[in-house]
A and B are shown apart, each in its own frame.
Chain A
């Protein structure tokens, strides 16, 4: 092995999108590879658990861990990587705040298993078999990792040094983070490696937003032709931009789609609660009933306001079955 800094990538409960970000570095990945040794990257390269286990504590300069923590296996590897790494970066919204998988926290393990293995109309499961952590087949004991009742964000199970939300973070975000880490220009521990401002600060539609913005009706994207120049909120389309961290260069809005909030909250705010409070403030309604009329048209409130951040929400989870 060379003396180059060592870098690891790992995925927990993840869609693979964050891995794509690494691939999307394009030719820049050659610079990365030239500067560092990638010592662990199960998604893309053939490395063994035993190799990782054999490394010295703190030997890895920086580990990028993406995905939420749903199973005991993910927790186990995360803890192992923590021990082997000088710096751990929670990479992507799932690792930072639960991400899409955390929407499962609206349900518990029992509900999910019943739906996935028993009730779903496409299932053929006459024996009513659901995954077991231990089972015997032909005299052999087989084990599966534990499926937790809750989807955790990474810092619920290990100490995290830095955070980089995004679904996924952009290749620029990653390149900047790698460079900063290698050059030792990282901010105070616990920081988010992105601007601490809301997306509106960058968005070129912000100028079209009136000072006295009000919403008299909420529209779904399928109901209206969104004006490509005008602030979505001013058009009655829920845009999470005001409650979402800047840093993505707003590709969705450039594509005439409102922000869904994947970069998570600004500062330490509860993203969903903040946005709900904001929307509540600008609904144009005389009577209580009018407010309900507007609010009831918001599609899938949990998925709209907490699409990526339920694990870090003050809402907590579905009550657990004991």
Chain B
């Protein structure tokens, strides 16, 4: 049948008065009835209603047409529903074309005569386009339903527990030697001052005991292959030199003669060459620091071997290359604290008793270098503390953004110092404060009520620190200078080290600050720009613990809802296709594809679309220099016909 012989059935929706009052539907109908390419015109009050869809189905069952035109509201509203109804009537869903005569017509064009003409143009365009509509088939594929999580902080752990409880096999890949991420290094979480280790401990044991969860620590992702429903993650697991018979009894710690700075304590405390991050870590297995251990440096010691009651020490252990498969990946790589150079101008590194917030958190932690005893370098309890907000933030040279969570953490300093020294004087020196919601506002008020001096400066850049005998003088425009025993610099959060490299490896975009870019900032915050790779916690943007956990929950929930055991993964139907007879293999489409769905076949010298990954955005079709790439259902023929339909009667 030639295109000229195709007949469309036209349905006009009055949408109550929403369309009928603005567009002369009777005239539209009578003009359309005279067209050779229109078989019938039917009008209905509410096509989207149950009765309306029933009317649509019955009409199509009793009147065979090639195409269906529905002139109604925006296709965003009910196109899917109408497609379903048309399928129920025995036609291919792709034979439905919608003309938006409500939002794009009746609602915006005031003059009824103009609106009616516009409606006719839009309907004409839809009819012309429909002559080029081809049937589309739903495609599906078997998928893996296991989940791979990169990062074992509070967010990744939450994702793991959610997915594992739903019966999925979960692998957590963590670069540190044990789980816990950022939250394990702090004592209490503002604003409700909840005990962080107490929140974490049950989760750590749940993971440790969960038969569905495998934890791979001291490991980094080296490559990620595949696509939504079938990912393979390659991992390099670094040797621990202690096998997993170790229960973390710490007997070897005493035997080990080496003492070195602890990175868990940010260099403020010591650990041995064989160590765990903290007692009760998961996994409990200790690790030997190869750079420090005398066995490795000069083969002069094996004290730990003799001390170990479980014969767990294995100096011959080597790095391992591992592979894990799963249907979805959750990135939960967290954040880092900014480089100390950002706060150098505030005396950090030069003046004693000037600490960054993460350092203060360690000092105040019961598993910290001082056992939770907040003390100055001379061992005394500070009687006056200044907390400088936005240290290194909100400036071009430093972190340009507000991390949103540091004000609460900064208020916490006074709360914790006062607990140990009730008479201590606290100054919170700030320009702007962020206290969102009633709980945060209440926490702020509590600090004020309990005596914290909130000092508002005129500009952050005017804040200066000076050593004054045993004290530190803090001055700034707009405040009277204060002298204190200790200064805490409230720093913000930056993307975790390696975020950019990981993003490149998994082909995900990052945002201007360097965090993972959300698939959609509102609709899908916990998705990356790669289908099937979700993101949780601070790796999307700085957030507090509650949000990190919620994101972990969401990222896992989204993944397990889409990957159902025994059910196939439905693929995007309106994908791009590259005609291999035309494609010259210039590879320009590979460069522009936002989903990395196109690869080059070096044998055939053509580019190939992986329809599993393709989301049908059409970027390749638009930029293909030879016209080999086309977007299904948005072909040039269809688009030209539509344009022609608008321009010519």
Cβ–Cβ contact B622 & A196, under 8 A: no
In contact, A197 and B582 (Cβ under 8 angstroms): yes
Query: Which residues from A are CB-within-8-Å of B622?
Result: 277, 281
Bound Cα distance A243, B588 (Å):
11
Instruction: Name the A residues within 8 Å of B587 (CB-CB).
Output: 200, 206, 209, 211, 213
Indicate whether B508 reaches chain A with its CB closer than 8 angstroms: no
Q: Is the CB of B591 within 8 A of A212?
A: yes
Contact B591 A214 (CB under 8 A): yes
Query: B623, A277: Cβ atoms under 8 Å?
Result: yes
Q: Which residues of B contact A35 (CB under 8 A)?
A: none
A237 at the interface (CB under 8 A from B): no
Q: Is B267 an interface residue (CB 8 A)?
A: no
Interface footprint category on B: 20 to 34
CA distance A48 to B417 in the complex (A): 109
Whole-angstrom distance between the alpha carbons of A275 and B624 in the complex? 8
User: Does A92 lie at the interface of the complex (its beta carbon under 8 Å from any beta carbon of B)?
Assistant: no
Q: Are A206 and B626 in contact, with the CB atoms below 8 A? A: no
B309 to chain A: which residues have CB within 8 Å? Answer: none
Please, how many angstroms separate the alpha-carbon atoms of A246 and B586 in the complex? 12
In the complex, per-residue mask of B560-599: 1 if CB is within 8 Å of any chain A CB, else 0: 0000000000000000000001111111101110000000
Give the interface residue-count category, chain A.
Answer: 20 to 34
Tell me the minimal C-beta distance from A101 to chain B in angstroms.
Answer: 24
- Name B581's closest neighbour in chain A (CB-CB): A196
B35 CB within 8 Å of chain A: no
Q: For the complex, give the distance between the alpha carbons of A210 and B587 in Å.
A: 8
Are A196 and B586 interface neighbours, CB within 8 A?
no
Q: Interface with B: A175-183, A261-269, A288-296, which one?
A: A261-269
Q: Are B591 and A281 in contact (CB under 8 A)?
A: yes
Asked whether B588 lies within 8 Å of A266 as measured between CB atoms, the reply is no
Asked if B605 and A201 make an inter-chain contact with CB atoms under 8 angstroms apart, the answer reads yes
B619 contacts the other chain (CB 8 A) = yes
| Interfacial chain A residues near B605, Cβ < 8 Å | 201, 206
Q: Does A235 contact B (CB under 8 A)?
A: no
Distance of A194 Cα from B591 Cα, bound (Å) = 28
B627 sits at the interface (CB 8 A): yes
Contacting A at CB under 8 A, from B593-647, are 600, 605, 619, 622-628
Q: For the complex formed, measure the closest distance between the CB of A275 and the CB atoms of chain B, giving whole angstroms.
A: 5
Q: How far is the CA of A242 from the CA of B586 in the complex (A)?
A: 6
Residues of chain B with a CB closer than 8 A to A213's CB = 587-588, 591
Residues in chain A near residue B627, CB distance under 8 A: 265-269, 274
A199 within 8 A of B: yes
Is there a chain B Cβ closer than 8 Å to A315's Cβ?
no
- Our pick among B581, B600, B625 for the contact of A242 (Cβ within 8 Å) is B625
Given A198-B584, A281-B619, A212:B625 Cβ within 8 A: no
B618 CB to nearest A CB, Å: 11
Complex Cα spacing A41 to B623, Å: 42
Whole-angstrom CA separation of A114 from B605 in the bound complex? 50
Cβ B626 vs Cβ A282 within 8 A:
no
Query: When the two chains form their complex, are residues A211 and B619 in contact, meaning their CB atoms are under 8 A apart?
Result: no
Q: State whether B623 touches A206 (Cβ < 8 A).
A: no
List residues of A (256-289) whose CB comes within 8 Å of B's CBs. Answer: 265-269, 274-275, 277-278, 280-282
In the complex, the answer to whether A278 meets B588 with C-beta atoms within 8 Å is: yes
In the bound assembly, the distance between CA atoms of A201 and B602 in angstroms comes to 10
State the Cβ distance, A240 to closest chain B Cβ, in Å.
Answer: 8
- Mark A241-259 against chain B: 1 for CB-CB distance below 8 A, else 0: 1110010000000000000
Please give me the residue from chain B that is nearest to A280 by CB atom.
B623
Known A-B contacts A212-B590, A266-B628, A281-B592; A201 and B584 likewise in contact (beta carbons under 8 Å): yes
Dominant secondary structure at the B interface: loop
What is the bound-complex CA distance between A265 and B592, given in angstroms? 21
CA distance A246 to B606 in the complex (A): 14
Give min CB distance, A273 to chain B, whole Å: 10
Identify which of B584, B600, B624 contacts A246 (C-beta below 8 A): B584
Rounded to whole angstroms, the CA-CA distance of A275 and B627 in the bound complex is 10
CA A216 to CA B344, docked complex, whole Å: 35
- Among B32-70, those with CB < 8 Å from A are none
Which residues of A lie under 8 Å from residue B586 when comparing CB positions? Answer: 198, 200, 206, 209, 241-242
**Bound complex: CA A206 to CA B625 (Å):** 15
* A312 to B190 CA separation, bound complex (whole angstroms): 68
Residue of A nearest to B619 (CB): A281
A214 to B582, CA, bound (A): 23
Interface centre among A214, A278, A280, A282 (most CB of B within 10 A): A278
In the complex, what residue of chain B is closest to A278 when comparing beta carbons?
A: B625
Chain A window 111-124, contacts with chain B (Cβ cutoff 8 Å), 1 for yes, 0 for no:
00000000000000
Q: B640: nearest residue on chain A (CB-CB)?
A: A314
Q: How far is the CB of A164 from chain B (nearest CB, A)?
A: 18
- On whether the beta carbons of B584 and A197 are closer than 8 Å, the reply is yes
Query: A197 touching B626 by the CB < 8 A rule?
Result: yes
Report chain B residues within 8 Å CB of A278. Answer: 588, 623-625
Q: A196-B582, A201-B605, A213-B587 are in contact. Are A269 and B626 (CB under 8 A)?
A: yes
**What is the distance, in angstroms, from B120's C-beta to the closest C-beta of chain A?**
25
How long is the Cα–Cα vector from A200 to B583 in the complex, in angstroms?
Answer: 9
With CB as the reference atom, state the residue of chain B lying closest to A267: B627
A235 to chain B, nearest CB (A): 15
Which residue, of B584, B587, B628, has the highest number of chain A Cβ atoms within 10 A? Answer: B584
**Which of B582, B591, B625, B628: most chain A Cβ within 10 A?**
B625
Complex Cα gap A270–B586 (Å): 17
Residues of B within 8 A of A269 (CB): 625-627
Residue of A nearest to B599 (CB): A211
CB distance from B588 to the nearest CB of A (A): 5
CA distance A160 to B155 in the complex (A): 67
Cα separation A268 to B635 with both chains bound (whole Å):
13
* B598 and chain A: residue at smallest CB distance: A211
Contact B591 A274 (CB under 8 A): no
Q: Give the docked Cα–Cα distance between A208 and B500 (Å).
A: 25
| 4 nearest CB pairs, A to B | A198-B584, A269-B627, A281-B623, A266-B626
Which residues does A use to contact B, with CB under 8 Å?
196-201, 206, 209-214, 233, 241-243, 246, 265-269, 274-275, 277-278, 280-282
A-B contact pairs, 11 of them (CB 8 A): A200-B586, A201-B585, A209-B587, A212-B590, A212-B591, A214-B591, A242-B586, A243-B626, A269-B627, A277-B625, A281-B619
